[in-house]
Structure 1
């Protein structure tokens, strides 16, 4: 512990908490049990007069800081007092003492190297609330980093500390940042000593990135001038590394595979907010902590509201899902194209169905069509003749009926006297081809014989009686 000395009347120094180029923080105590944190600024004020530029700037900024506590906020440290030390004439700001570790300590062993999603969302909400509260009263913090955000072990809240940089003039701020600032958390414009509301938004994005990935996007290798310049240029020119890839590498080995898989499901709306905060162009970031907090609320509500699938913060999720589905469709289409052509197969429960390949079916249809065409040609050429010849021979009666006596006589059954049946055909029927005429005659004679046998059964008996049976041997 450093030597105890009096900062100002009634405020006792209890030892240094943190020292640096932007000032030192001491643990202070008023008479009694009240413990506070005192921020000493590095630029001395020689006279407490409005003629002194440094004193005038300090007074103006302190007036702004007083507005921060006009409305209490659980995520913003309470500013109790301000003044100038009795020895050294250094300006100081007295703040509420927050008992608990800061984020920088919570990312070191024995703690896990990354925060859980639940804790990241909690901190994102509370830190955005702190920024919104400050920006409403036109106070720019200017020095948001891991060790300026503390976890209050008594309330469970994350609290934004150390408004010392906001109380400095532009020249003081520019000098302090170049030589002693936490350059890993600084926005590109801070390298020129500039500070806007969007500057705090950029540093906010760096903190969320660190909690997700387990490290800042551009780590500082050492505190040398070369390393600081490299980080400064990286913030100005280089693309931010993939935060999810770094998170996968830094997940604790002690976590189960199931927990690792779950902790890789960082909400898309949260990643979108981080991405917008880290834009190098000031105009592309959220305009202030107020707009940042509104975006955070909209993102968290949109993730729970299933009735609004077109929520802006869920656009990336929908696009990725659409790409995945399109990939599946393409995959199935390619597999379908590789499959052989299906064969026509009868259903197994239909016994009357016939299996026929496509090739055989086509040949059968070609032969059937050819046979149909051939039949049509033949019938067109010879159809009329065949029809008239067959009809006349089969169904037309002869002009002279046969003699019944002659039919009943068995002797004259095969004599030439039956020839009158074969009368001459009319002239129009004499053009029938010989083969057709012979066929008709044969059919007609068979019909007449069958009729005679049926009408005169005596014919069969006389034939048997007159048959010569002398040569038969039994």
Structure 2
């Protein structure tokens, strides 16, 4: 893009970003890679002297703007420099260049016509923070509209831009608004060129209304004078249409029925904030950005406070969101369990190793402990017997049975003359072995004595019968 004029020494003009009746915004570059945005005001100042009323007013307003950056704020654009252009003598304000789309772009295709509830609340909080920051140093913006709020793609914050009207005098502001202002966002009092802190609050409410409903309450059909007057008159006299009806009408077709139902549950406290911002009478609005920010904070706290049930977030929405989050947690847990576990720096697994699950291992340990206790009880009660039986079995020599053939004593047959009388019969089945053995020994001795007697008698008898005549003594 060709250069139209020189801004000032050391600031290169890289072409127009946006032009309008309230001034134009150009892209500038300092020596090096630093890119800035330069706002040129439409009324030229031919002399840089305090005697010039326009220059004096410009200088006063610029001094106010410098106070905005004395304390940095992530939602307010930084004011870098100001002065008069070398060609054309236009006053300019050099600001930080914000890389990203503005709200007007974010509400056009391929984007959805409305914002989600979460994003509306985010913007409401950040834009209220910007207004509160400016109003603390007595700076009124005066031109809050959707294309003066940008989304910074590098920080994820919404940033308030273009303090051009703040640097204008009342007469310049009145003329600029009447012919070139964004009439859809202007408060009723701005038709007369008036600007208060409550004026910024009203425009803030219009932005939230647009994000919730998908359009401003009184759209401008064309840029003709008749259409502009009709919109301004509507702001002054007509009631604000129901924003929830517009939201239902502008719900994206790509959303599921469940998503549509959830996104229709706009918090009651947020709708009350919007309604109060859009009051016709400035005395019925929030006094300034500071009071607006406090109202947002109280509303968000009341959403979870049991002492403010009428300002709740809608319990049904919170429950559904909680169920959705729990479902996501379960889903991710199941996927995590299905994924193979990666073992890092571990020893190789033995293929012959036996693996068992944790429940089976616990049951095995319980059975092992029970068997150990049972064994201890058995050993305590029968251990002595078991021990002696094992010792006798292993270490004591077993008694060999006597050779009955070698030691058997053949007793002489009893004479038939010995008769057993019936009353002499005894049952020897219950006689102990020791007694039976003793009796056998006695009987054997008696029989041996008899035998010796008989043998001796037999010897004597044989001697008597022998022939002893031939014996010589």
The normalised TM-score by structure 2 is 0.66
Match of 1:195 in 2: 195
Alpha-carbon shift at residue 88 of structure 1 (Å): 0.8
| Structure 1: distance between partners of 2:314 and 2:116 | 21
Give me the whole-angstrom Cα distance separating, in 2, the residues matched to 1:152 and 1:105. Answer: 13
SS in 2 for 1:296: helix
Q: Check the 8 A contact 2:265/2:314 in 1, yes or no.
A: no
Aligned partner of residue 7 in structure 1, secondary structure:
coil
**CA separation in 2, counterparts of 1:27 and 1:86?**
16
What's the counterpart of residue 444 of structure 2?
A: none
1:184 maps to what in 2? Answer: 184
Aligned-residue CA RMSD in angstroms? Answer: 1.3
How many equivalent residue pairs?
A: 315
2:13 — aligned with what? 13
Q: Any idea what the Cα deviations from partners look like across 1:37-73, whole Å, max 9, x if unmatched?
A: 0000000001111110000000000000000000000
1:69 has 2:108 as partner: no
Q: Do the aligned partners of 1:152 and 1:159 also contact (CA within 8 Å) in 2?
A: yes
Q: Quote the offset at 1:310 in angstroms.
A: 5.3
Instruction: Give the secondary structure class of the aligned counterpart of 1:86.
Output: coil
SS in 2 for 1:77: coil
**Residue 329 of structure 2 corresponds to which residue in structure 1?**
none
Distance in 2 separating the partners of 1:61 and 1:287: 22
Deviation at 1:5, TM superposition (A): 4.1
Classify the secondary structure of the residue corresponding to 1:175: helix
Other-structure match for 2:163:
163
**Per-residue deviation, residues 129-149 of structure 1 (Å, max 9, x unmatched):** 000000000000000000000
Aligned residue runs from structure 1 range 163-312, under 5 A: 163-306=163-306, 308-309=307-308
| CA distance in 2 between partners of 1:256 and 1:110 (Å) | 18
Map of 1:144 onto structure 2:
144
SS of equivalent to 1:76: coil
Q: Distance in 2 between matches of 1:214 and 1:58?
A: 37
CA-to-aligned-CA distance 1:273-305 (integer Å, 9 cap, x gap): 000000000000000000000000000011012
Q: Secondary structure at the match of 2:29?
A: strand
Match of 1:433 in 2: none
Deviations 1:339-371 (A, max 9, x none): xxxxxxxxxxxxxxxxxxxxxxxxxxxxxxxxx
SS in 1 for 2:258: helix
Q: Secondary structure at the match of 1:155?
A: coil
Instruction: Determine the C-alpha separation between the residues in 2 that align with 1:300 and 1:9.
Output: 49
5+ residue gaps, structure 1, are 319-474
Query: What is the distance in 1 between the residues matched to 2:186 and 2:3?
Result: 34
Cα offset for 1:4?
A: 5.7
Given that 1:187 and 1:235 are in contact with CA atoms closer than 8 Å, whether structure 2 keeps it comes out as yes
CA displacement, residues 59-101 of structure 1 (integer Å, 9 cap, x when unaligned): 0000000000000000000000000000111000000000000
Distance of aligned partners of 1:288 and 1:250 in 2 relative to their CA distance in 1, 3 Å threshold: same
The structure with more radius of gyration: 2
Q: Using the alignment, how far apart are the partners of 1:282 and 1:192 within structure 2?
A: 14
The answer to whether residue 109 in structure 2 is matched with residue 109 in structure 1 is yes
Taking structure 1 as the reference length, the TM-score comes to: 0.65
Partner Cα distance (1:294, 1:253) in 2: 36
Deviation at 1:6, TM superposition (A): 2.4
Q: Is the 8 Å Cα contact of residues 4 and 12 (structure 1) preserved in structure 2? A: no
Match of 1:441 in 2: none
User: How far apart are the structure 1 equivalents of 2:214 and 2:63?
Assistant: 37
* Gapped regions of structure 2 (runs ≥ 5): 316-473
Q: Secondary structure at the match of 2:66?
A: helix
Q: Which residue of 1 aligns with 2:468?
A: none
> Whole-Å Cα distance in 2 between the matches of residues 297 and 223 of structure 1?
38
Question: Post-superposition shift, 1:2?
Answer: 3.5
Helix, strand or coil for the counterpart of 2:230?
helix
1:5 and 1:12 in contact (8 A); partners too: no
**8 Å contact from structure 1 (residues 2, 16) kept in 2:** no
